[in-house]
Structure 1
């Protein structure tokens, strides 16, 4: 195989791009799962010892917090993907 082949370089760059993209996506989905399922359901009894705006923290995470975290994760994903696209010269 010829290592100077442009197709090989493109394929390697595409593979690295998709690995980084999927790693970011799975990381953010794990955080969202931990917040929505963990804080809203599994750790609700513990979190209910604290309150936000007069509501128990576990209830707040189940009703509002998971949504706010999800919006923050989407914003982070957009910013990070722009950086990744620039890194692999795929930005518009």
Structure 2
């Protein structure tokens, strides 16, 4: 389960950090952007009887965070297989 060479190791970690950066940016936009900055604009839209800005601040950001955890797990399994460092 070791990398074949140093270049693969660097490429693996570069892709890992790129993926984490993208997912954290999505989480930031959803939690801070939708839940705080755009709350007044989003509150004009109703979702299941609740204002959308309120929903993102109270529940939506948590749902997105949990979804991002599963996306990260799926993408990292693909990345591990591509570089030959998977657990199987």
The TM-score bracket by the shorter chain reads over 0.9
Match of 2:60 among 60, 65, 68: 65
Match of 2:16 among 12, 18, 21: 21
Report the TM-score when normalising by structure 1: 0.89
Match of 1:32 among 6, 13, 27: 27
Measured in 1, the distance between the counterparts of 2:46 and 2:39 equals 12
Match of 1:5 in 2: none
Give ranges in structure 2 of 5+ residues lacking alignment: none
Report the TM-score when normalising by structure 2: 0.93
| Length, aligned pairs only | 84
Name which structure has the greater RCO, CA cutoff 8 Å, separation 6+: 2
Runs of 4+ in 1 over 6 A off after TM superposition: none
Question: Is 1:87 paired with 2:82?
Answer: yes
Q: Return the index of the structure with the highest Cα Rg.
A: 1
